[in-house]
């Protein structure tokens, strides 16, 4: 029905500097009790042990990333059992948590997930989604990825509705010397080069270059993507209390879209952070970044350019039984959109403003019972002041058990795509946005547990009940049909659970099973016109299951396999599937490794998204050589 979507989809995409990363061998050999004490920052915006974090948080470790064999960020995110990742080729990727993944036929895209790279937001303020071909990383340089399923708006803002992905790269001191990787296969090649060194007392740095290319082809189309990235990071321990981090990236890429015109995308960013650890145990942190990105469709198919300036500050301290985090920030995003056939933004350029303050207090009610209450006040273009509160309660009856519950509110605020867009077919205006579009709202109730069942087994289970209101719909014009318009005509509930375990069967064999259940009970509000079905909010599978196995055969050979099951998508219908990925690695010297990786090995091709939206995914195999000097 809406075949302008390719243009929209194509155009519209913390850790302290003094921390030191752990080696692959240390993480591999670490007992589960020690792994549970790894620090995470995404739940409270301060360092806290994973075992004490009152949220549905899964940590993809550096070891997981390196041993997975995956080369792209969406591929790495498949390792998180509480994320839904669906691909339709190199250029069609959907990542969501707890559903509402969007439906391209209704021009609704996955837009309720906040993604951060070292504190820099990479979701697009033009439509609240992420261009997954634009953010990229050198997998070896990632310390960990913290994945929260459930709202995080109190600390992270109005786009953190159904989840938060926080990608934390390694301190430059953990990436010294020369590192290179060469990858080649039937559907991809990848080249990476990095050098890390020191420049004076307490200053570590690294510079890197990365080239990646995916290519897919069929009888009548040619889909592929190419991307080149350069970047650096510098960490300076200025004193015993002060640390400074500076990093930047620049990238240029292009992608093919079968019979549609190809696209070019490019951007650059610079981020600076200063952190002071107070003698009293508190910490002050200031951070600022600038980000520019742009996309262009060939043959005068349109372009956009977006510049973002962001600054934030936070102060964390302990007083008596209270652990407080206070902070605030401001962001200006300036954009220009022009010459997209059939798609206008009126006006075609704007400055978007965002300002917020937040406070969160973790109160030790008893030595084993903690209450956490927080609130964020946020003001931004298109909306007035928005309150985003949350309350959490965690109880540790013993050192091996955590029980927690939470009630949170989050919103997805209007964007230019919700407020300013005008679509046409020929001379006929087909759809127009309304300035009365309201924020989409969520009230979430969560209950979970994290258990250390034995020295060799741990388990995490989180249940949720989400109440949504004012979800976006496509409505007819009053008293007629055209032009269609956005409305807030849907509400309803969803519920389910996320569960995963970590089991060490033997010193050399580790397995990680995972399962997610999602049930939607959405409905149209009184007076709403059900022009499109309920699936316009999301075409999500009910069941997802995964099993990851990691084996070490001596100190030189490692074998990893990932088996995953995804049930059918309801509307449009896509059959469920089972697929397998595997990697065999050989550390043939202290400084070099040769590996063979394969993905989607059970079938020559399988479908993850509707045929009207994306091509089948094909089997891929590649060989990788890595070495350090």
Over the stretch 137-151, which tens digit does the pLDDT of each residue have?
Answer: 899 999 999 999 999
Lowest mean pLDDT among 39-43, 297-301, 470-474, 621-625: 297-301
Tell me which residue has tokens 């302990």.
Answer: 318
Q: What is the pLDDT of residue 605?
A: 92
Compute, in degrees rounded to 10, the torsion defined by CA atoms 138, 143, 148, 151. -80
Distance of alpha carbon 256 from alpha carbon 4, whole angstroms: 17
**Average pLDDT over every residue of 480-504:** 95
Distance of alpha carbon 317 from alpha carbon 323, whole angstroms: 6
- Burial of 507 by CB count in 10 Å (0-12 exposed, 13-18 middle, 19+ buried)? exposed
Alpha helices in 503-598 (DSSP H): none
Contact 173, 430 (CB under 8 A): no
For residue 359, is pLDDT > 70?
yes
Tell me which residue has tokens 């960013």.
Answer: 269
pLDDT band at 221 (very low <50, low <70, confident <90, very high): low
Contact 519, 484 (CB under 8 A): no
For residue 444, is pLDDT > 60?
yes
Over the stretch 493-545, which tens digit does the pLDDT of each residue have?
Answer: 999 999 999 999 999 999 999 999 999 999 999 989 888 889 999 999 999 99
Retrieve residue 492's tokens.
């309803």
| Residue among 315, 14, 283 nearest 166 (CA) | 14
**Average pLDDT over every residue of 204-215:** 94
Q: What is the pLDDT of residue 300?
A: 76
Retrieve residue 108's tokens.
């609704």
pTM for this predicted structure: 0.93
What secondary structure letter does DSSP report for 353? E
Retrieve residue 225's tokens.
């993507």
Q: What is the pLDDT of residue 587?
A: 95
Domain that holds residue 448: 5-628
Q: Integer distance in angstroms from the first to the last C-alpha of the chain?
A: 56
Total number of domains in the chain: 1
Contact 110, 161 (CB under 8 A): no
CATH number for position 232: 2.40.170.20
Contact 147, 77 (CB under 8 A): yes
**Average pLDDT over every residue of 353-359:** 97
Over the stretch 173-202, which tens digit does the pLDDT of each residue have?
Answer: 999 999 999 999 998 999 999 999 999 889
**Average pLDDT over every residue of 69-96:** 90
Per-chain mean pLDDT for the chain = 90
- Burial of 322 by CB count in 10 Å (0-12 exposed, 13-18 middle, 19+ buried)? exposed
Q: What is the pLDDT of residue 6?
A: 33
Distance of alpha carbon 171 from alpha carbon 486, whole angstroms: 45
Q: What is the pLDDT of residue 91?
A: 67
Q: Which residues contact 478 (CB under 8 A, 6 or more apart)?
A: none
Contact 624, 69 (CB under 8 A): yes
For residue 218, is pLDDT > 70?
no
For residue 475, is pLDDT > 80?
yes
């Amino acid at each position: 029905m809406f075949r302008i979507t390719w243009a929209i989809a194509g155009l519209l995409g913390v850790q302290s500097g003094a921390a030191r990363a752990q080696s692959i061998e240390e993480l591999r050999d670490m007992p589960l009790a020690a792994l549970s004490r790894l620090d995470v920052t995404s739940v409270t915006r301060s360092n806290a042990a994973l075992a004490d974090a009152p949220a549905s948080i899964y940590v993809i470790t550096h070891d997981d990333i390196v041993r997975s064999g995956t080369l792209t960020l969406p591929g790495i995110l498949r390792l998180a059992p509480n994320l839904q990742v669906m691909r339709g080729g190199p250029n069609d990727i959907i990542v969501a948590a707890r559903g509402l993944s969007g439906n391209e036929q209704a021009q609704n895209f996955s837009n309720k997930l906040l993604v951060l790279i070292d504190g820099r937001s990479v979701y697009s303020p033009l439509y609240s989604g992420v261009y997954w071909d634009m953010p990229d990383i050198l997998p070896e340089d990632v310390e960990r990825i913290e994945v929260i399923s459930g709202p995080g708006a109190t600390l992270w803002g109005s786009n953190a509705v159904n989840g938060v992905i926080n990608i934390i790269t390694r301190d430059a001191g953990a990436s010294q010397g020369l590192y290179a990787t060469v990858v080649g296969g039937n559907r991809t090649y990848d080249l990476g080069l990095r050098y890390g060194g020191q420049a004076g007392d307490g200053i570590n740095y690294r510079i890197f270059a990365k080239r990646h290319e995916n290519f897919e082809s069929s009888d009548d189309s040619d889909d592929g993507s190419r991307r080149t990235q350069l970047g650096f990071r510098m960490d300076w321990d200025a004193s015993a209390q002060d640390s400074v981090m500076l990093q930047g990236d620049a990238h240029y890429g292009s992608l093919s879209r079968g019979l549609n015109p190809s696209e070019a995308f490019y951007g650059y960013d610079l981020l600076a952070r200063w952190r002071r650890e107070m003698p009293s145990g508190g910490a002050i942190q200031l951070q600022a970044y600038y980000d520019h990105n742009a996309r262009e469709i060939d043959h005068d198919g349109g372009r956009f350019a977006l510049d973002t300036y962001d600054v934030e500050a936070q102060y964390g301290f302990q007083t008596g039984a209270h652990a407080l985090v206070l902070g605030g920030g401001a962001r200006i995003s300036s954009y220009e959109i022009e010459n997209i056939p059939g798609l206008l933004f009126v006006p075609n350029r704007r400055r978007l403003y965002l300002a917020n303050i937040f406070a969160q207090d973790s109160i030790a009610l008893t030595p084993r019972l903690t209450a956490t209450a927080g609130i964020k006040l946020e003001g931004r273009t298109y909306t007035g002041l928005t309150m985003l509160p949350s309350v959490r309660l965690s109880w540790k009856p013993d050192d091996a058990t955590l029980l927690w519950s939470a009630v949170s509110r989050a919103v997805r605020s209007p964007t230019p795509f919700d407020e300013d867009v005008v679509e046409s077919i020929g001379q006929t205006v087909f759809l127009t946005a309304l300035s009365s579009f309201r924020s989409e709202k969520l009230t979430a109730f969560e209950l979970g547990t994290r258990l250390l069942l034995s020295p060799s087994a741990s388990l995490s289970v989180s249940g949720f009940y989400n109440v949504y209101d004012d979800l976006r719909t496509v409505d007819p014009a009053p008293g007629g049909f055209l032009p269609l318009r956005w409305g807030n005509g849907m509400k309803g509930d969803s519920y389910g659970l996320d569960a995963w375990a970590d089991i060490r069967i033997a010193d050399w064999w580790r397995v990680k099973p995972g399962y997610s259940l999602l049930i939607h009970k959405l409905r149209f509000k009184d007076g709403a016109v059900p022009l499109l079905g309920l699936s316009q909010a999301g075409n999500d599978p009910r069941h997802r299951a995964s099993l990851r196995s990691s084996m070490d055969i001596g100190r030189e050979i490692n074998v990893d396999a990932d088996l995953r099951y995804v049930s059918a998508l309801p509307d449009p219908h896509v059959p469920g599937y089972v697929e397998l990925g595997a990697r065999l690695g050989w550390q043939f010297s202290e400084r070099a490794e040769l590996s063979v990786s394969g993905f989607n090995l059970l079938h020559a091709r399988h479908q993850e998204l509707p045929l009207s939206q994306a091509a089948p995914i094909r089997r891929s195999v590649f060989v990788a050589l890595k070495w350090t000097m």
